[in-house]
Chains A and B, each alone.
Chain A
Amino acid sequence: MQGAFREHRRAFESLNCEVVEVRKPADLQGIQGLVFPGGESTTMGKLLYNDGLGDRIKELAAQDMPMFGTCAGMILLAKYINDSDQYRLNLMDITVKRNAFGRQIASFEADITIPALGNDPVRAVFIRAPYVQEVAPNVGILAEHEGKIVFVRQGNMIASAFHPELTPDKRVHQYFLNIISEYQ
């Protein structure tokens, strides 16, 4: 659609997974999991709203289809967005704050620990990134950075504030593929 879809495609293909790009409702045919890449959440929101793609995705979410959002994708999955009435899919019980670490000049990379992925830290790239301010009790926190929640899971949905698609470490993508296999 818009954003870093090519990097996600490469990451999943390196894990022997077939990838299709979704731009309109018909493209959703036959998929087993959905990824919302990093990009601009307002841009992607317009495109989701425009031809009913978002409504179709909400129906799939109601059937527990696994979904994975990074950065802008996390914002689209959230129910609550601090200080914004922009379009969202309204699926995860989290409150996110946009551009929460600051403008581009404050964008950074750092090592974070994700216990679900083992002891080796993950190099996480944050670009004008959001973080999660609040989670409902049914949402699991997978990782924090300096006390800010940056990776969460609710049922078959995961969302990260950072961009695992920009680094060679494929553990986050493998984690999502495991969710899909369990769901099948």
Chain B
Amino acid sequence: MLEIGSWKVKTGLAEMLKGGVIMDVTTPEQAKIAEEAGACAVMALERVPSDIRAAGGVARMADPTIIQRIMDAVTIPVMAKARIGHFVEAQILEALGADYIDESEVLTPADDLYHINKHDFKVPFVCGARNLGEALRRIGEGAAMIRTKGEPGTGNVVEAVRHMRTVMSDIRRLSSMPKEELMSAAKEMGAPYNLVVYVAENGKLPVVNFAAGGIATPADAALMMQLGVDGIFVGSGIFKSGNPQARAKAIVLATTHYQDAKVLAEISQDLGEAMPGLEIATIASTERMQERGW
């Protein structure tokens, strides 16, 4: 029996992206630079997160023309972002043939209560999470891949680190619980019971988990990998830096050789200026993208 868009096929593509770097791009030229540098996928956008942050207002799905042109320019998978809860943007991206949809807090949410029912789609989804409960709620809704939220567009990795450490420590906590405590834990976390049991039994998420939000240097990428993520999303960090080609390539190598400090020292040289960074405390809590989603 032939089955299209099965759970195995959705989570399988994320498995194939492991150990790789997914880069935000806004033009076919940038997409080619990313592919040439060794990106395992690109995220097609109208504006990178730091520009979205600067522009303010309502951020929506990118113009399909841009996504189409980027799909035509490269052979690697092309992802695109839909607003939280905006299932019609997701339907449009699926119809365009996007390979993965990011239901993303970088865009302005379209629904203040509910996320998209991602099981309704053949195309797989990735969603952001700050802790295990949030990750399992998204997986329960059908996300086939998870990423940290971090604080997008800041070039500041501290929030991604916090989110990853929180998820890992939540997983460790569940793993050490006797079975009778799991239902209460599920209630506390607001997570589906069957997924809580899975995590407790397996000591890991049932899907691939990437780092995203604030990664700007090869060292940032290697830090997240050493903390246990499966791969890296880089948003503004590449095309808002002084030398995107060199930095993109270095971040790819850092993600492969994340345990080898000698290699990291070598590839971190001569990369030009990193993107300008933002201290999280200077961003009003209402402006923090990570607070979006429920």
A→B interface (CB under 8 Å):
1-7, 23-24, 38-40, 42-43, 46-47, 50, 71-72, 84, 98-99, 103-111, 125-128, 163, 166-167
Contacts and interface: CB of A to CB of B under 8 A. Distances in A.
A104 B41 CA distance: 12
Interface stretch (B14-22, B108-116, B161-169, B192-200): B14-22
Nearest to A109: B3
A1 B38 contact: no
Contacts, number: 124
A171 B122 CA distance: 29
B281 to A, nearest CB: 36
Contacts of B9: 104, 107-109, 125-127
Contact of A106 (B4, B8, B257): B4
Given A104-B124, A107-B9, A166-B8, A72 B94 contact: no
6 contacts: A2-B18, A39-B16, A43-B76, A105-B94, A108-B2, A127-B9
B28 interface: no
Given A24-B257, A39-B40, A98-B75, A104 B16 contact: no
B38 A43 contact: yes
Contacts of A72: 16
A163 B6 CA distance: 14
Contact of B12 (A2, A50, A107): A107
Contacts of B2: 108-110
B15 to A, nearest CB: 5
Nearest to A99: B75
Residue from the set B16, B76, B100, B124 with the largest chain A CB neighbour count within 10 Å:
B16
Contact of A105 (B15, B17, B41, B97): B97
A128 to B, nearest CB: 7
A104 B13 contact: yes
Contacts of B100: 104
A6 B19 CA distance: 10
B252 interface: yes
B146 to A, nearest CB: 16
Contacts of A98: 75
Contact of B40 (A7, A43, A104): A43
